Structure 1
Amino acid sequence: MIISKDLFLLGDQDYLRLPNKDEKRPTMIRPVVKPQRSESTTVHFPCLITDHRPLPVHLAFRGLSASAGDRQILKDVDGLVRPGQLLAVLGPSGCGKTTLLNCLSGRLRIDSGQILLNREPLCKRWKRRICYVLQQDIFFPDLTLRQTLEFQARLRLPDSMSHSQKMQYVDHIIDVLELGGCQDTIIGDYIKRGLSGGEKKRANIACELLTNPSLMLLDEPTSGLDSHAAYSLMSTLKRYAVSEGKTVVVTLHQPSSQIFHLCDKLLLLCGGRSAYFGDTSKVVDFFSSVGLNIMPHYNPADFILEQIKGSGEVRQKVVQAALEARKRKDYPVELQNKDCVNILDKYGDTGRNIHCQYPHLDQDTLNAMDPEVKRLWLDTHSHASSSVSSETSESDCYFSWPTSFWTQFKVLSQRNFLEARPRMLSKLNLIQTLGLGLLAGLLWFQLDRKEEALHDIQGWMFFSTTYWMLFAHFGALSSFPPEREVIYKERRSGAYRLSAYYLAKMMGELPLIITLPAIYHLISYPMLGFHSPTVFLTLLGFLLLNTVVAQSVGFFIGASCMDMQVSITISALYTLATQLFGGYLATNIPPWFTWMRYFSMVHYAYQNMQIVEFSEGPIRCAAQSKFEVCGKSNVSHIPTDAILEAQGSYLPLWANTLVLLVFLLVFRVLGYVVLRYFRTPK
C-alpha cells in the first residue's frame, strides 16, 4: 500500500523507502505515527499506525438467542460483516437492536449461538478491541469537550506515541467531526447547560475512535442529528470502514434513503427474529418476492419498516421468507456451517474444546473487495489459520494495557482534580465556609482559659470535627453515583486499571477535600484564642485527617449501595451514631453500650484535639471546681487526663492517631474490594 510517494507498507511493522538515485537498495524504516490519506479516497479519519497494527475483524454470528429475565429478546439471529463493510441493523422499537449490540460486544450473555471474530470466539482480548458507542452519552459534566478527548487520548493511546502526537490526533478528530466550535464548552447535564444532544453524540463517537478500533458497534449514532449532519457522519463512517479495513455495525431507527444506501449489509429484525439479512441493494427484491412491492421514489427504509410493523400475517410471511433464504446457495457460506459447537457459556468458563471449520472466501468475493481490504483480509486469514487450535486456553486471550500504570495514575489524577474542583470548591461552598468560619469564631470569640469556658472550647472542637465529617462523608456519597456510570463505561472498554483509578481518585481529590476545612480552621481558631503555632498546626492536621477518613467511609458506602436512598439512610445512621458516641453529647454511656464508641471516628479525633489543646494551654480551676484534683493544694490548672477521664475511658495521642489511620486504610481497601469484585461492570 502506498503511504506516500516514497513509502510502501510491507507488513505490520516495517515500511520500505524507495531508493534514491544515490542509493543501491531500499531502506527499511520503523513505523511513523501520522494521519494517513488515500490517493483514491478522501479519508477523514487518521490511521493510527503502531508497531502492533490491529488486524481487521471478520465478524460472524449465527443462531444468536438472548433473553432478559423470562422474556426472550433475540431468537436465532444470523449476521456477517467483513472488513471494509458497514452492517445496518434496522427494526421497530423493542425489536432487539440494542440487545444484539450488547451481545456482540460481550456485555450480555447469550443463551445460545456463536459469535466469532476471525474464527475465534468472543473473549476478553477481543472485547477490549471493540469500540461500542452507547445510545446514551455518559461523560463527566464539568469537563470541556476538548479536556474529555485529551484525557481519553492520553489514557487509551499507547505510550509509544508522544504527547504532541496524541494532541494532533485529538485535533484531527475534532476537525473531522466538526466539533471545533464547541471544543471549549463543558459537556453539561440536566442542571448545567453544555453541549447539545447532537454534539454529545459526536463527542461520544470521537472518544471511541481515538483507539483506532478493529470493530465498531454504534447504537443509533444519528439520533439527535439533523439530516445533513446524520448523512455526513454516516458517510464518514463508511469511508473510514472502506479505507481502513474496519468492520462497522450500526443500529438505525429511521434512516433517510441516502443513509440507507450507504450501508453494505442489512439485518432487519422483527420481534427479535431475522426478517432479512443480506445486501442492502437486494432488500427491495426480497420484499417483492413475497408480494410486497415498493412504490416508485419511496424510501426503502420507510417501506420495509412499515411492512414489518404491519399485520401479524405480513410479519409472519416476511420472517418465513427470511428462514427460507438461509437454505439458498447464495447465503453466506460462513453462516451455513452448523457443525460448530454452540458456545452457551462465556468463553473460558467451561474450558470446552471448540471445533469450527471456518470456510475460505471464494475468489469472486475476494476480487470484489477493495484491494487494501483484500490484503488485510488475507493477512487476517493467514494469521488465523496459523494460530487456531482445537483447544483454546484463557492465556490465548491475554490483554495488554495500552498505557503503563504510572501513565494511567498521572492522567486520572489530573482528570479527577479537574472534574471534582467545580463541585468541591464551588462559589457556594466557599461562601458557606467563610460564613461558617466567621460565625464560629464570633460565637466562641476569645474564650478565657478557665473552667467556666471549658465546655465552650470543647463545643468548638466537637462542632468543627462533626461538621467537616458530615461535609466530606455526604459529599463523597453524592458524587459517586454519577461518576460510577462513567467508570463502568471506561472499564468495559479497557481504558485503565481499576487500581490506577482508585489511587488516582484518592490523590486527585486530596487537595480539594482539605482546602475548605483548612480555610475554616484558619479563620475560626485564631478568633477562639490563638496561643501557639504548634497547637494550631496540630489541630489542623487532626481535623483534616478526620475529614479524609469520613470521605473514605462515604466512598465505601456509595460504592456498596446502588440505591441512593439506601446509601443516605445507612450514612445517616452511622454518622449520627458517631456523633452520639463521640464523647461530647453523652458522657454517662451505659457499660453495655460503651463498645459503640470504638467505632466512632469523631471520638478519636475529638480526644486528640483535647489532648493537644489542653496540654499546651491548660485550663484554670474554678473556685467551686467539679474536678477533684483542683481541691488539692498547689493545683491551679486542670490536668488534661482529668478532663478526658470525665468523659470516660480514653487513649493516648498516638493510639487515637493510629486508630484513625486504620479507619482510613480499612475503608479505602473495602471500597476497592467492592468495586473490584462486587461492582464489576457486566
Structure 2
Amino acid sequence: MTPPTPEVDHSKEESFDTMASPDLEMNGTQTGYLANDFVKSFGWKDLQVKVKDRKTKAPLSILSEAAGIVEAGEMLAIMGPSGSGKTTLLNALAHRVAAAGATTTGNILANGQKLSLQLVRDLSSYVEQEDALIGSLTVRETMVFAARLALPSTVTKKEAFQRVDDLIKSFGLQSQSDTIVGTPIKKGLSGGQKKRLGVASRLVTNPKILFLDEPTSGLDSALSLEVCSYIKGIGRRNNLVIVASIHQPSSSTFQQFDKLCLLSQGKTCYFGPVADATAYFGRIGYAIPPETNSAEFFLDLINTDLDKTGEIVRRTEHICEAWTNSPEHTQLEETIQKSVQEPDNDLAHYKSVKPSVWMPPAVLLRRSFIKSYRDIMAYGIRIAMYFGLAILMGTVFLRFSTDQKYIQPFINAIFFSSAFMSFMAVAYVPAFLEDLNTFRQERANGLVGPLSFMVSNFIIGLPFLFAITVLFSVIEYFMSNFRPSGTAFFTWVAWLFLDLVAAESLVVLVSSFFNVFVVALAITAFANGLWMCVDGFLVPMTILNVFWKYVFHYIDYQAYVFQGMMVNEFKYRTYDCAKAGSGYQCNYPSDLNSVGKIRGTDVLSEYSISTGLEGEWFGIMIGIIAGYRILAYIVLVLRK
C-alpha cells in the first residue's frame, strides 16, 4: 500500500503547548497535554491484505474489503475468533507489516485524507499485547523516559514532568509512582497496573490516534474493566481516536466500547455502534437469548474453529453477506465517502515537532545505567558469578612457583580464565532481550533508532565489564602467583577486559538475530564452545585441522586473548627443571637446559605463539568487537 504522502509544512514548527487546548481538564488538573483538536475522524476503505498460499502459492486474502470510521473521542473494539484477522487489521491501520510476506492495499484516512507511514507514526502510538516495560524502573521513571524520548526540546523539563504527573494521576497510579514495574526477583506492579502504565507511557508522546493490541490479555474480568475504563476516560476527555483488538471481553468491558468491528476469516460481519449490534443481529435472524453476554454470543456465531458439520461456515457466510447488503453498510460507505469529499482540518498543516537528535542516545544511556546497577539480572548475577569463579580459581591454582611442573597448570589457568570468563557472558542474554523488546516497540512508534540503541548499549556496559575484570583479576592473579609485575597485571586486565567486551558483543549480535531466550542462549553457548576448541590450547596450531584453523581460528577472539595472556606470562620468565642424578630433566627444549632452566619463550614456541605481535592482536580484538557491534546494528536496521 503506497498512498501519496501529504505535504507537511515544517517551516513554522510550534511547541507542544501551542498545539494543545489550554482548557483541558484531567482529574481536576489544568493542562494542555493530550488535547486533540486536529484529528476529527480516522477511517479506512477497501482495505485488503493478501499473502501467498503455502501450498498453491496463489494469492490468499486474509483481510477482505475492510471499511470503517471512528470519530474523535470514540473507542472501537475489533473482535473476532482466533485467526479472524483482528491483529492483521490493527497492524494494517497502523501502517505496520500486517502479516509475514503480506501485501496491503486500500486507503487509510484521517479527516478524509490519505495517510503516509510517517504521518501515521506522527499522529499515533501503538501499544502491543506484550508489555515492553523495563522491570527495574519505577512508574515515574518509565513515564519520564518516555516523555524525554518523544517531547521536543521546546518543552521544558518542568513542563514534561508536570505532564507525566498528570497522566500518572489520570490512570490512578499516583500511589505507585515510586514502585518499580517488577522483575523476576522483585515484585512490583500488578498485571492491571502494568497495562495502565503501558498505555500511559504511550500517551505521554501526545498521540491523536491510539492503537491497542489485546489490552486486556492476561487479565481477569475485573482488571479488564479497570483498564478499559481508564483508557475510555482518557480518550473521551481528550478527544482521542482509540482502536483496540480484544478477545472475549466480559459484558461490562464490552460496553465500554463505542463501536464494534466484528471479523471472521478476514471478512466484516458487522461495523457500527455497540449499542446497535444486538438489534442488528436480531433483525437478520440471530436474536440474543436473555441474560447472555452479547460479546460471547457474537463470537460463538462466527467461530468456525468449532465447526464440525459446516453449519457455522454457512452461517458465517450468511452473516457476512447480510452485512454487505445491509443499510448499515451502505450508510458506513456514505459516511466514509462524505469524509473524503469534505475533508476537515487539512493534514498538510500538521506540524510534527521532534526532540533534538542527541536526546534519544542520552535518554537511553541514562535509562540503561539505572537498569544496570538496579537490576540484578543485568550485571549483579554476573558479578557474583565472576567473584565465585575468582575464588574457585585462586584456591585451585594456588601459589604456583616457577618450577617446570607448574608450567602446564599456569597455561591451564590462563585458558580457563579467558575461556570461561567469556563463556559466562551468556548470563547477559535475558537482560539484553528485555532491552531489545523495549527498543522494538519504541522504534515502531518512531521514538528510537538502531544507532542510538546500539551505541548506548555498548557505552553503558564498559564500566561494569571493567569493574568485573578488575574484581576477578585482583583475586585470582595474585593468588595463583602470575608474573609479579604491575605492568604484567595491568596487561592481564587489558586482555581480560577485551575478552569480556567481545563476549558481550557476541551476545548482542546473536540475541539481535535470534531474539528468543532459549535460542539465543544455545547459539551463544555453542559459539563460545567453538572458540574454545580452536583457540590453540586444546589442539595446538601445528596439528589443528586446516578447515578449523583457516575458517574459524583467525576470527576467534579467545585465540588472541589466550595468546596475549600467554606472552604476558611467559615472555619474561624462566623455569627450573627437575634434577635427575647429576643432570637435569627438562620438559621443554631450551638453550638453558644445560643449566637446569627453561626459557618462557620456548614454552610459547611449543604453542606456536610468537612475541612482538601484541599490538597487532589488540587491534584485531578491537576490530572483532567493532565487527560484532556493526553486524548487530545492521541486523536491527534490516529488521524494521
Structure 2 length as normaliser, TM-score? Answer: 0.82
* Secondary structure of residue in 2 paired with 1:449: coil
Answering whether residue 341 of structure 2 is matched by residue 359 of structure 1, we say yes
Residue 524 (structure 1) shift = 1.4
Q: Which residue of 2 aligns with 1:249?
A: 243
Q: Which residue of 1 aligns with 2:560?
A: 604
**Does the 8 Å CA contact 1:47/1:244 hold for their aligned counterparts?**
no
Per-residue CA distance 1:22-41 (angstroms, 9 max, x = gap): xxxxxxxx9479995547x9
| 1:231-242 aligned within 5 A | 231=225, 233-242=227-236
Q: Which residue of 2 aligns with 1:392?
A: none
**Does the 8 Å CA contact 2:571/2:601 hold for their aligned counterparts?**
no
* Secondary structure of residue in 2 paired with 1:419: helix
Q: Which residue of 1 aligns with 2:604?
A: 644
Amino acid at match of 1:603: A
Check 1:232–1:577 CA distance in 2 against 1; reply closer, same or farther (3 A cut). Answer: closer
**2: CA distance, partners of 1:450 / 1:260:** 80
**Does the 8 Å CA contact 1:476/1:558 hold for their aligned counterparts?**
no
Q: Which residue of 1 aligns with 2:89?
A: 100
Answering whether residue 506 of structure 2 is matched by residue 560 of structure 1, we say no
Q: Which residue of 1 aligns with 2:621?
A: 660
**1: CA distance, partners of 2:528 / 2:208:** 50
Q: Which residue of 2 aligns with 1:373?
A: none
Q: Which residue of 1 aligns with 2:403?
A: 450
Check 1:56–1:242 CA distance in 2 against 1; reply closer, same or farther (3 A cut). Answer: same
Answering whether residue 410 of structure 2 is matched by residue 475 of structure 1, we say no
Q: Which residue of 1 aligns with 2:79?
A: 90
| 1:172-321 aligned within 5 A | 172-188=166-182, 193-223=187-217, 230-231=224-225, 233-255=227-249, 260=254, 262-293=256-287, 301=295, 304-305=298-299, 308=302, 315-321=316-322
Answering whether residue 63 of structure 2 is matched by residue 63 of structure 1, we say no
**Does the 8 Å CA contact 1:625/1:631 hold for their aligned counterparts?**
no
Residue 418 (structure 1) shift = 3.1
**1: CA distance, partners of 2:514 / 2:586:** 50
* Secondary structure of residue in 2 paired with 1:278: strand
Check 1:453–1:305 CA distance in 2 against 1; reply closer, same or farther (3 A cut). Answer: closer
**1: CA distance, partners of 2:329 / 2:314:** 23
Residue 45 (structure 1) shift = 9.6
Residue 621 (structure 1) shift = 5.7
Residue 654 (structure 1) shift = 1.2
**Does the 8 Å CA contact 2:469/2:497 hold for their aligned counterparts?**
yes
Check 1:449–1:400 CA distance in 2 against 1; reply closer, same or farther (3 A cut). Answer: farther
| Superposition RMSD in Å | 3.8
Residue 79 (structure 1) shift = 0.2
**Does the 8 Å CA contact 2:379/2:428 hold for their aligned counterparts?**
no
**1: CA distance, partners of 2:240 / 2:521:** 47
* Secondary structure of residue in 2 paired with 1:277: strand
Aligned residues: 600
Residue 527 (structure 1) shift = 1.6
Q: Which residue of 1 aligns with 2:326?
A: 325
Q: Which residue of 1 aligns with 2:391?
A: 438
Q: Which residue of 2 aligns with 1:48?
A: 33
* Secondary structure of residue in 2 paired with 1:460: helix
**2: CA distance, partners of 1:299 / 1:451:** 83
* Secondary structure of residue in 2 paired with 1:358: helix
Residue 628 (structure 1) shift = 4.3
**Does the 8 Å CA contact 2:535/2:556 hold for their aligned counterparts?**
yes
Q: Which residue of 1 aligns with 2:451?
A: 499
Residue 234 (structure 1) shift = 3.9
Residue 152 (structure 1) shift = 1.7
**Does the 8 Å CA contact 1:325/1:331 hold for their aligned counterparts?**
no
Q: Which residue of 1 aligns with 2:134?
A: 140
Select which of 625, 630, 633 maps to 1:669: 630
Answering whether residue 107 of structure 2 is matched by residue 114 of structure 1, we say yes
Residue 288 (structure 1) shift = 4.3
* Secondary structure of residue in 1 paired with 2:585: coil
Per-residue CA distance 1:71-125 (angstroms, 9 max, x = gap): 6432222101233333333334443222211111122155443222341244233
Residue 207 (structure 1) shift = 1.4
**2: CA distance, partners of 1:211 / 1:31:** 13
**Does the 8 Å CA contact 2:210/2:241 hold for their aligned counterparts?**
yes
Amino acid at match of 1:323: T
- Segment drifting more, 509-518 vs 302-311: 302-311
Answering whether residue 145 of structure 2 is matched by residue 169 of structure 1, we say no
Amino acid at match of 2:437: E
**Does the 8 Å CA contact 2:146/2:205 hold for their aligned counterparts?**
no
- Segment drifting more, 400-409 vs 41-50: 41-50
- Segment drifting more, 123-132 vs 203-212: 123-132
Select which of 617, 622, 625 maps to 2:586: 625
Q: Which residue of 2 aligns with 1:354?
A: none
Q: Which residue of 2 aligns with 1:587?
A: 540
Q: Which residue of 1 aligns with 2:363?
A: 411
Per-residue CA distance 1:224-278 (angstroms, 9 max, x = gap): 5566665555454445434433222223445566655554433232443222223
- Segment drifting more, 237-246 vs 98-107: 237-246
**2: CA distance, partners of 1:614 / 1:486:** 47
Percent identity for Structure 1 against Structure 2: 27
Q: Which residue of 1 aligns with 2:307?
A: none
Q: Which residue of 2 aligns with 1:465?
A: 418
Residue 133 (structure 1) shift = 1.8
**Does the 8 Å CA contact 1:268/1:274 hold for their aligned counterparts?**
yes
Amino acid at match of 1:404: S
Q: Which residue of 1 aligns with 2:151?
A: 157
**2: CA distance, partners of 1:165 / 1:147:** 15
Q: Which residue of 1 aligns with 2:3?
A: none
Per-residue CA distance 1:343-387 (angstroms, 9 max, x = gap): xxxxxxxxxxxxxx92117xxxxxxxxxxxxxxxx4x23x55x89
**1: CA distance, partners of 2:107 / 2:321:** 22
**1: CA distance, partners of 2:627 / 2:423:** 19
**Does the 8 Å CA contact 1:188/1:194 hold for their aligned counterparts?**
yes
**1: CA distance, partners of 2:62 / 2:537:** 59
**2: CA distance, partners of 1:42 / 1:436:** 55
Q: Which residue of 1 aligns with 2:478?
A: 526
